[in-house]
Amino acid sequence: MSPASPAGSYSEHVLPLIPPGIRFRLMKASDLPEVRALHASLLPVQYPLAFFIHLLLQPRYLCVLATHEDSVIAFASAEINASHGTVQTEHRNSSLAHITLLTLGVQPTHQRQGIGRALVHDVARRLRASSCRYETPSEPRSAEDVRHGPGYSTVLVQAEVAHSNTAGKFFYSRLGMNVEQVGSKTPTYIVAGLLCV
């Protein structure tokens, strides 16, 4: 893999093959207990029920799940910036969707298989599509569909990662995102980059 892309360049990494049987789909209300438990087991922050309800009901929020044998094994939640759904770049006439990754987690038994990377791309792709037109929840997608989707667009994706989360910083840098410290007193870094989705 190449190192982090220079500021302003595009991450054009080909998505890895994902193990057979892994499916991506939108979170449903019936998934809440399982998704909340997985968040609690993987993340240091406990999110209130209202957070998950926003993911279900608010059009600018989205949560994509990875499942294996009908069990949720991973999640990626994100938000498209409501006030500035697109960002003008200084190098291009077109505008880019601005997406903030809120949470991301993969069960340890399924890590290092490309699932997290594919989830980031999938949640960004779905939010970008929904910002262009109304997109009804689609059927579960196979890993092959995610890897070889019909068309690509570019989105600006950002997230926060804890200073102590070395694995998280490495993960985002492998996605082509730049890691920058906001201030000396903040417990997190901001990661941002342009992704082709």
> Which pLDDT tens digit goes with each residue over 86-123?
444 444 434 677 899 999 999 999 999 999 999 999 99
Mean pLDDT for the stretch of residues 69-87: 78
- CB neighbours of 156 closer than 8 A, spacing ≥ 6? 87, 96, 97, 98, 99, 192, 193, 194
Q: Highest mean pLDDT: which of 27-31, 142-146, 177-181?
A: 27-31
Q: Give yes or no for residue 6 having a pLDDT over 50.
A: no
Lowest mean pLDDT among 9-13, 18-22, 44-48, 124-128: 9-13
**What would the two tokens of residue 30 be?**
């019936």
